[in-house]
Amino acid sequence: MIRAAAGVALVALLLAMPRLAPPYPITLLLPAFAYGIALLGLNLLFGTTGLLSFGHALFVALGAYTAAWLTTRCHVMAFEAIVAVAALAAAVVAVPVGLLCVRYVKIYFSMLTLAFGMLFYSFLYKFYALTGGDEGIRVLRPSLLGRGFADLDKVGFLTGPFYYYALAMLALAALVMRRIARSPLGLSLRAIRENADKAAFVGVSVRRYRFYAFVIAAVFGAVGGTLLAVPTGLADPLLAYWTHSGNLVFMLLLGGFDHFLGPLVGAAAFIFLQDFVMSLTVYWRFVFGALLAVIVIFFPRGLLGLLPPERAA
Amino acid sequence: MTLLEAVAVRKLYGTFCALDGVTLEIPSGQFVSIIGPNGAGKTTLVNVLTGLTPPTSGTVRFKGRDVGGVGPVRLARLGMARSFQLVSVFPALTVRETLAVAIQARRRRAARLFASLTGDRALWDEVAMVAALFGLTDELGRPARTLAQGDKKLLDVASAFALRPEAILLDEPTSGVSTADKHAIMAVLVEAARRLGIQSIIQVEHDMDIVFGYSDRILALHQGRIIADATPAEIRANDAIMATVVGRPLAAR
């Protein structure tokens, strides 16, 4: 009951935010929404299935570059089409990458995903004609549900229609992921996380289901990537760099990977914390490193670990 | 009808011969116990019979199909399940969820992405039925890691039984359980097998009271070979076998 009331209050607050807050914090919420979607996918892989990917940024970058390519080079402005193509592209890339990666677990899986992430980074960096090299590719303002909002300036677009669009996408992504987490596949994935050998002996196709989780995570990553690229207006190779993957893992740990809302809380906390610490000191990375150490040592279940555990399905 | 058979199975680990030309046939409907001293090859035999370990030579057939090294998932689908000597559970999953994992896998619904788990009445009814058979009804909502050791063992075995296999191989199902509880567990297993339509139970067991009390047939293994394949009464009467397997003739116990 309290949870439901808190949820309704949070959604109402987020809906009212553009009227309550100045534009700057609203523009900070946009990447938090985008990362929230990407992290829902990463958490299916880590929190649910027990596979820690250090290459999830590959798919976030893929989503951002899809948005860049389609808007700048193909003049496709419909954001719905961009999201659909990004999801499809992520699935296509995730099939071969996932087939290779899910043959391994633990550190070997993590290292392999890291390697594929860096491979994609190198591709983005070196294939200038295709990717714009280190300069990346611009992401033009897309149309939302067929409307271009030409009357609005950039801030007006981002803090108005795009804000609500991104919020709706986050809500939709969360509902879809909630459904997956509570599906038969979700239960099978949790069994695999807990004891893969045992799962196999009760008839669970461990490798195949890990692969499904990998592809689903990739699709969520790319959809998040399309949303991430619009406010910055740029897709650049650093989106695929390993530090970006590291940030995604950091966000997940910060929010709490064993809680469904952990990814969303982690993304928002990271973005606002980063903004706050960066405004105080140029040594913000040092502060973040120390913070990560504190979280892992004292709050291994993240911010949401401070709440009572969720009811089992 | 022969359910499970091994023909001239050898298993080598380097130069060590764990199984040396084992041939056996297990028909439907038998309760078979595999006995033997430590290092006789009992667990290796179970591993080979359940496709976990491919034999170095020879064949293993289940319902006429070669199952040498097929892997556990295909084996479960073919109708054979097993439990391990060491308790193996899903620590964070509740008893209810643990049984559901096995039942939905058997019903080929484990990969459904958007189906509602909570709304699947048939699944939860079957979970409740299996839990009741194993006396786990009161523990349904508890995570496996919080169960007492005996209940963990029961849950481990119950999840294999929930697959409703035709044959089930149990590696020391009563290990780590007090002598008083062993017979209670065996009674549960036999009743559950009858209710769930499990045709054959093949168990590795050290406790001779359990072996003699429940088996239709006993396979005695020594140094990777079957040295006796007989009824409990015949084994009990054979001092040489008893001395090899148990360490002393039964009369001296």
Nearest to B90 among A198, A212, A313 (CB): A198
pLDDT value at residue A312: 41
Give the ranges where B107-207 is alpha helix by DSSP (H): 121-133, 149-161, 179-196
pLDDT value at residue A103: 92
Chain A hits for B130, CB-CB cut-off 8 Å, are: none
CB contact under 8 A, A184 and B73: no
CB contact under 8 A, B118 and A313: yes
Q: Is the pLDDT of residue B90 over 60?
A: yes
Chain B hits for A205, CB-CB cut-off 8 Å, are: 73, 110-111
pLDDT digits (tens, 9 = 90+) for A68-102: 999 999 999 999 999 999 999 999 999 999 999 99
How far is CA A182 from each of CA A48, A108, A169, A185, rounded to the nearest angstrom? 11, 28, 20, 8
Nearest to A184 among B91, B109, B156 (CB): B109
- B70, B97, B101, best to mutate vs chain A, most A CBs in 10 Å: B101
- Does B101 reach chain A within 8 Å, measured CB to CB? yes
Q: Give Cβ neighbours of residue A309 (< 8 Å, ≥ 6 apart).
A: A258, A259
pLDDT value at residue A17: 87
Name the B residues in 38-77 with CB < 8 Å from any A CB.
71-73, 76-77
- Does B105 reach chain A within 8 Å, measured CB to CB? yes
- Does B86 reach chain A within 8 Å, measured CB to CB? no
CB contact under 8 A, B113 and A180: yes
List the structure tokens of B186.
């065996």
- Which one of A11-25, B123-137, B167-181 scores highest in mean pLDDT? B123-137
* Mean pLDDT, residues B88-115: 91
- B53, B88, B90, best to mutate vs chain A, most A CBs in 10 Å: B90
Q: Is the pLDDT of residue B249 over 90?
A: no
Rounded to an integer, what distance in angstroms lies between the CA atom of residue A62 and that of residue B79? 44
Residue of A nearest to B161 (CA): A202
- B117, B120, B168, best to mutate vs chain A, most A CBs in 10 Å: B117
Chain A hits for B122, CB-CB cut-off 8 Å, are: none
CB contact under 8 A, B88 and A195: yes
Q: What is the mean pLDDT of each run of 10 residues along chain A (313 residues)?
A: 81 88 91 96 95 95 97 94 97 96 92 94 91 92 91 91 95 94 95 95 94 97 97 94 93 88 91 89 86 84 78 43
Rounded to an integer, what distance in angstroms lies between the CA atom of residue A48 and that of residue A213? 9
Residue of A nearest to B94 (CA): A312
Rounded to an integer, what distance in angstroms lies between the CA atom of residue B249 and that of residue B253? 7
Rounded to an integer, what distance in angstroms lies between the CA atom of residue A312 and that of residue B92? 9
Chain B hits for A185, CB-CB cut-off 8 Å, are: 110-113
3-state secondary structure of B55: coil
A202 neighbors B102 (Cβ within 8 angstroms)? yes
* Closest-CA distance of chain A to residue B75, Å: 8
List the structure tokens of A76.
């496709």
pLDDT value at residue B136: 94
pLDDT digits (tens, 9 = 90+) for B62-86: 998 988 778 889 999 999 998 888 8
Residue of A nearest to B116 (CA): A183
3-state secondary structure of B113: coil
Chain A hits for B96, CB-CB cut-off 8 Å, are: 312
The percentage of residues in chain B with a pLDDT greater than 70, rounded to a whole number, is 97
Chain B hits for A186, CB-CB cut-off 8 Å, are: 117
Rounded to an integer, what distance in angstroms lies between the CA atom of residue B198 and that of residue B158? 12
pLDDT value at residue A309: 63
- Average per-residue pLDDT in chain B? 89
Rounded to an integer, what distance in angstroms lies between the CA atom of residue A39 and that of residue A45? 10
- The confidence band for B253, taking pLDDT boundaries of 50, 70 and 90, is very low
Q: Is the dihedral of CA B144, B147, B149, B155 positive or negative?
A: negative
pLDDT value at residue A302: 87
Q: Give the residue numbers in A contacting B (CB under 8 Å), as ranges.
A: 179-180, 182-188, 190-191, 194-195, 197-206, 208-209, 212, 312-313
DSSP state of B85: S
Q: Is the dihedral of CA A271, A272, A275, A281 positive or negative?
A: negative
pTM, two decimal places = 0.91
CB contact under 8 A, A184 and B92: no
CB contact under 8 A, B110 and A209: yes
- The confidence band for B52, taking pLDDT boundaries of 50, 70 and 90, is confident
Q: Is the pLDDT of residue B252 over 60?
A: no
DSSP A106-161: HHHHHHHHHHHHHHHHHHHHH-HHHH-GGG-EE-PPPBBTTB--TTS-HHHHHHTH
Chain B hits for A199, CB-CB cut-off 8 Å, are: 90, 101
- The confidence band for B53, taking pLDDT boundaries of 50, 70 and 90, is confident
Nearest to A205 among B73, B156, B163 (CB): B73
* Mean pLDDT, residues B37-59: 89
Give the ranges where chain A is alpha helix by DSSP (H): 2-20, 23-43, 57-68, 79-101, 106-126, 128-131, 154-159, 161-181, 184-194, 196-201, 206-232, 242-255, 262-280, 284-298
